[in-house]
Amino acid sequence: MYKHLFRPVPSRRLGMSLGIDLIPKKVCSLNCVYCEVGKTILRTPDRMEYVKYHQVIAELKQFMSAKPKIDYITFSGSGEPTLNNKIGDVLKFVKENYPHIKTAVLTNGTLFYNQKLRTELLQADIILPSIDAASQSVFEKIDCPNSNLKFLLYLKCKFKTSQPLF
């Protein structure tokens, strides 16, 4: 029984995809009205080791020891995966130990203003950010963000991540 892995599922975009969940239910920077996980319990932009790195790696090693046929390891799950400040270390571990498997990060993109996170995410093969709004008012209405998150910064980070932000 795994706590931080989801059994592989066929994905139209990614092929056979193993899910990794680095966040306890339900920690997110947003509280989207349509969220299928449920209401956000901790709405925060603060990154920390919400799920311990060594626990995730132990499960991954055990799962991969059976040599499963998977195409992607996908970071998603019970909240916003980029809130876990060890996501870069987990991506690095996957790259070093399973170089034949690609990695994908499903994210709301609200923390892309963080330079350290952006550097960490460069290790992923695909980043799939979502966006629901084109204005602060709709952002607040649909995504109910943590009060420290401002829409213009969010938008700027999503579309100009190759430019200096500040």
Rule CB under 6 A: which residues touch ligand SF4? 28, 30-32, 35, 37, 40, 79-80, 108
Q: What is the DSSP letter of 86?
A: T
Contact 85, 105 (CB under 8 A): no
Residues 6+ apart with CB under 8 A from 62: 2
Euclidean distance between CA atoms 166 and 159, whole angstroms: 14
Shortest reach from residue 100's CB to ligand SF4, in Å: 29
Q: How far is CA 27 from CA 5, 49, 75, in A?
A: 17, 12, 14
User: 30 or 94: whose CB is closer to ligand SF4?
Assistant: 30
User: 32 or 57: whose CB is closer to ligand SF4?
Assistant: 32
Shortest reach from residue 39's CB to ligand SF4, in Å: 9
User: 31 or 161: whose CB is closer to ligand SF4?
Assistant: 31
Shortest reach from residue 155's CB to ligand SF4, in Å: 16
